[in-house]
Protein backbone atom coordinates (compact mmCIF):
# COMPACT_ATOMS: atom_id res chain seq x y z
CA UNK A 1 0.00 0.00 0.00
CA UNK A 2 2.59 2.58 -1.12
CA UNK A 3 1.29 6.11 -1.49
CA UNK A 4 2.80 8.30 -4.19
CA UNK A 5 3.75 11.92 -3.52
CA UNK A 6 1.09 13.03 -6.00
CA UNK A 7 -1.55 11.09 -4.09
CA UNK A 8 -0.37 12.59 -0.80
CA UNK A 9 -0.60 16.06 -2.35
CA UNK A 10 -4.14 15.37 -3.58
CA UNK A 11 -5.14 14.11 -0.14
CA UNK A 12 -3.59 17.15 1.55
CA UNK A 13 -5.34 19.50 -0.86
CA UNK A 14 -8.64 17.72 -0.21
CA UNK A 15 -8.23 17.80 3.57
CA UNK A 16 -7.22 21.47 3.58
CA UNK A 17 -10.00 22.37 1.12
CA UNK A 18 -7.61 23.67 -1.53
CA UNK A 19 -9.58 22.11 -4.38
CA UNK A 20 -12.51 23.47 -6.32
CA UNK A 21 -15.95 21.91 -5.95
CA UNK A 22 -15.69 19.71 -9.06
CA UNK A 23 -12.33 18.24 -8.01
CA UNK A 24 -13.60 17.78 -4.47
CA UNK A 25 -16.65 15.84 -5.65
CA UNK A 26 -14.52 13.72 -7.97
CA UNK A 27 -12.11 12.95 -5.14
CA UNK A 28 -15.00 11.99 -2.82
CA UNK A 29 -16.40 9.70 -5.52
CA UNK A 30 -12.97 8.06 -5.83
CA UNK A 31 -12.91 7.56 -2.05
CA UNK A 32 -16.25 5.73 -2.24
CA UNK A 33 -14.96 3.49 -5.02
CA UNK A 34 -11.47 2.93 -3.62
CA UNK A 35 -11.38 1.71 -0.01
CA UNK A 36 -7.58 2.04 0.04
CA UNK A 37 -7.85 5.72 -0.88
CA UNK A 38 -10.48 6.24 1.80
CA UNK A 39 -8.19 4.57 4.35
CA UNK A 40 -5.25 6.73 3.25
CA UNK A 41 -7.36 9.87 3.65
CA UNK A 42 -8.35 8.83 7.18
CA UNK A 43 -4.73 8.06 8.07
CA UNK A 44 -3.55 11.39 6.64
CA UNK A 45 -6.27 13.18 8.62
CA UNK A 46 -4.95 11.55 11.80
CA UNK A 47 -1.39 12.52 10.92
CA UNK A 48 -2.47 16.14 10.43
CA UNK A 49 -4.23 16.14 13.81
CA UNK A 50 -1.17 14.67 15.54
CA UNK A 51 1.13 17.22 13.89
CA UNK A 52 -1.16 20.03 15.06
CA UNK A 53 -1.23 18.67 18.61
CA UNK A 54 2.57 18.32 18.61
CA UNK A 55 2.95 21.86 17.26
CA UNK A 56 0.68 23.31 19.95
CA UNK A 57 2.54 21.43 22.69
CA UNK A 58 5.89 22.58 21.38
CA UNK A 59 4.73 26.20 21.09
CA UNK A 60 3.36 26.06 24.64
CA UNK A 61 6.69 24.72 25.92
CA UNK A 62 8.59 27.48 24.10
CA UNK A 63 6.28 30.15 25.52
CA UNK A 64 6.69 28.75 29.03
CA UNK A 65 10.48 28.81 28.61
CA UNK A 66 10.39 32.47 27.51
CA UNK A 67 8.08 33.31 30.40
CA UNK A 68 10.40 31.57 32.84
CA UNK A 69 13.45 33.42 31.51
CA UNK A 70 11.73 36.83 31.51
CA UNK A 71 10.43 36.49 35.04
CA UNK A 72 13.33 34.62 36.67
CA UNK A 73 16.61 35.64 35.03
CA UNK A 74 18.35 38.48 36.92
CA UNK A 75 19.06 40.47 33.75
CA UNK A 76 15.31 40.84 33.14
CA UNK A 77 14.39 42.13 36.60
CA UNK A 78 13.43 45.61 35.33
CA UNK A 79 11.11 44.08 32.73
CA UNK A 80 9.56 41.84 35.39
CA UNK A 81 9.01 44.80 37.71
CA UNK A 82 7.48 46.88 34.90
CA UNK A 83 5.00 44.13 34.07
CA UNK A 84 4.12 43.56 37.70
CA UNK A 85 3.51 47.30 38.15
CA UNK A 86 1.16 47.29 35.15
CA UNK A 87 -0.99 44.63 36.77
CA UNK A 88 -0.78 45.76 40.36
CA UNK A 89 -3.74 47.36 42.13
CA UNK A 90 -1.76 50.52 42.87
CA UNK A 91 -1.38 51.99 39.39
Higher pLDDT, 17 or 91: 17
Q: Does 17 reside within a domain?
A: yes
Range of the domain at 34: 5-86
Q: Does 23 reside within a domain?
A: yes
Q: What is the mean pLDDT of residues 47-72?
A: 95
Burial of 19 (0-12, 13-18, 19+ CB in 10 A): middle
Q: What is the pLDDT of residue 2?
A: 65
Q: Does 91 reside within a domain?
A: no
Residues 70/63, Cβ–Cβ less than 8 Å: no
Q: Does 13 reside within a domain?
A: yes
Cα–Cα separations (whole angstroms), residue 34 to 31, 60, 68: 5, 39, 51
DSSP state of 74: G
Q: Does 67 reside within a domain?
A: yes
Whether pTM exceeds 0.85:
no
- Which of 15-24, 44-53, 55-64, 77-86 has the lowest average pLDDT? 77-86
Count of domains in the chain?
1
Residues 33/40, Cβ–Cβ less than 8 Å: no
Amino acid sequence: MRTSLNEIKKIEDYLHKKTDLADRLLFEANMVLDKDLNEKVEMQKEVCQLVNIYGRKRLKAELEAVHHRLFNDPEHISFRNSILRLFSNNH
